[in-house]
Every structure is written in structure tokens, then in C-alpha cells.
Structure 1
Amino acid sequence: VGAEFQVHLRIDVEGMKVRELKDTQFPHTFLVSGKQRTLELQARSEEEMNAWIKAFQDAIDRKEKRSETFKTALHGLETDTPSLKTEELGRRAPQWVRDNLVTMCMRCKEPFNAITRRR
């Protein structure tokens, strides 16, 4: 409370997903995944985390509702076609993995050790 924040990047709500992460090492964390970026955020308490998740989800729901209203107005009543919810590779920003959780090179599959360092 009372902290100052500065906007570095705006993430479009369209296509955004938010979910709680179950990580005992980092309690009260949740994932906000959008087209431009995926963020892992940590709240001070479970109540604060739930409030943030609800705020994100409410914004997502409002955007989806506005989009559906707009689509219906444009296309009449063409809602017979099923909407496919497929997430194609490259349409969503990747979730980063913490350095201490990475055990091998993604390219050559060589395990990291005292001699072979993370690169």
C-alpha cells in the first residue's frame, strides 16, 4: 500500500488466461498469460492473490462479453458454428522456468553440472 508503480508494457486482455500456481517454495503465486507476455506474479497473502485473480478474470470476462456482443451484431445469428479453443504454438508468450529448476540444455539435452554450466 502506498507504493508507486510505472507502466512498462500493456498486455492485451484478449486471449489472456489467469490461474493460480501451486508452488510451496513461492506461496501466493499466480500466472497471467497473454499474447505478448506471460507473467508469474506473487501476492503478499492468499486474500490479495484471490483479489488479483478475480480482478483479472473479471476483465477477461468483460472483454469476452463485449467481443461476443460485437460478433453477434456483425454476423447476425450465425452462432451454429462451434468455437474451437485451440492454443497454437506461437500465439501465446511462453512461461519462463526459474534458473534453479533447469537441469539440462534444451538444445543438446546435456545435463548441467560443475563443468557444464547453464548457457
Structure 2
Amino acid sequence: MRRILVLDDSTDILFILQLLLEEEGYEVKCIEDALNLMPLVIDFKPELIIMDIQLGRYDGRALCEHLKVIEQTRDIPIVMMSAKTNILEMNGYTCKAQEFITKPFDIDYMVKTVSYHLGK
């Protein structure tokens, strides 16, 4: 079973994505706080990460940059989400996410995006 990690500070988004992706046959782990992101990524070994850009006290773009320079995580595809558009490169970040999805997201598009990045 393909593993997906979802990071968002909205419990509603986490709930929707977990239901949606588990229905598609994926193993999904959801977290609200980026504080324990790295240990979870190392332990769970996700094959895809879906992450909000605005995570309360954390900036998803900075987390994405961090994941892309670490040997164990650099090859994991990352799909970034935000209610705001065109913010992947704001504030000096050069986030190397594979995809950007605007919230509210289209469910069919999300499923196709996940499937594409997992080669399913």
C-alpha cells in the first residue's frame, strides 16, 4: 500500500483528505503540527507528502525546502496547498514542490495529482 503524509493545521482538511485518499487505497497519516514532522517522515517513510503552506507558526515553504535538501527525504514528491495563489516563491523561498493546489481543491484533481506523483 502506498503511503501518504498529510500536513495541515485544519482538522477539516485532514479529515477530508484522509477519507478521500484511504478510499483510493492509500495508507494515510495526518498531522496538524509540523513540530514532529521529521521523525514521522523518517519513521513512516511516505511516498508522497501533501502540505499546507500556512501552518500556523511554521511556513510550509521552509519545510519543503528543508525536506528537499535532506538525503532521506529529497526524492519524496511534495504537493503544496494554499488558499492563496502564487505564494510558492514569496519571502525568498524557492520551494521545490512538485505541485501546487489551490484551496478549496477539486476532489477529482487531487486524486489525479496524487495518482500521477505516485505513478499509479
TMscore range, shorter length? under 0.3
Relative to total residues, which structure has the larger strand share, 1 or 2? 2
Based on CA coordinates, which of the two structures has the bigger radius of gyration? 1
- TM-score, normalised to structure 1, is 0.24
Higher relative contact order (CA 8 A, sep 6+): 2
TM-score, normalised via structure 2 length: 0.24
Instruction: Decide which structure has greater helix share.
Output: 2
